Amino acid sequence: MPTGSPLPRWLGPLLGLIALFLVPWTLWLTFSLPARHVTDHYDLAWVGFDIVLAIVFGATAWATVRREHWLVPLAAVTGTMLVCDAWFDIVTSQSGGEIVEAALEAVFGELPLAALCAYIVIDVERFQSTFDQFRRPTPAARRAALRAMSTDARAEQREARARPDRRA
């Protein structure tokens, strides 16, 4: 449980009531919605969704690199949006090649990324530790950087010795 102010006692029962209400609502939708619906803003819905998904991905990446406390909720939102994206890509695809493409994108793209986000949410400390290992330079990279810095320092010393004294 997160530290800080306690949640109101009524919040749990309210969420439970909403969950119970969703059962008959979903049954009603099952039998009342048409199997086919044409909309004028289908493209706007997907473009808007993908823009928000890109923003949330960027924010999650930023929180990962900066080790921000927002990483867990951002990863939860990103993972949820990826699962929704996979679901709606598949169920709104027309049969044939379109549905195969949507399924392949889900299996090899969206769902593995959603699983990575779930891993972040479940064990953020281990994720950040693993991420930090990739950020650290290898011993060979450190040696190369030290050699480059020492070579630059020696070159500056030679140039300084070659310059005439500028004191007046």
Q: In the prediction, which pLDDT does 31 show? A: 92
Q: In the prediction, which pLDDT does 48 show? A: 95
Q: What angle do CA 8, 12, 17 make, to 5 degrees?
A: 130
Tokens at residue 65, please? 């690199």
pLDDT tens sequence for the chain (168 residues): 456 678 899 989 999 999 999 999 999 989 998 888 888 998 999 999 999 999 999 999 999 888 888 999 999 999 999 999 999 999 999 888 999 999 999 999 999 999 999 988 888 887 777 777 776 677 777 777 777 777 776 777 777 777 766 554
Q: Tell me which amino acid residue 137 is.
A: P
Q: In the prediction, which pLDDT does 73 show? A: 93
How far apart CA 145 and CA 138 sit, in angstroms, is 11
pTM of the model: 0.69
Q: In the prediction, which pLDDT does 138 show? A: 73
Q: In the prediction, which pLDDT does 166 show? A: 57
Domains in the chain: boundaries: 43-122
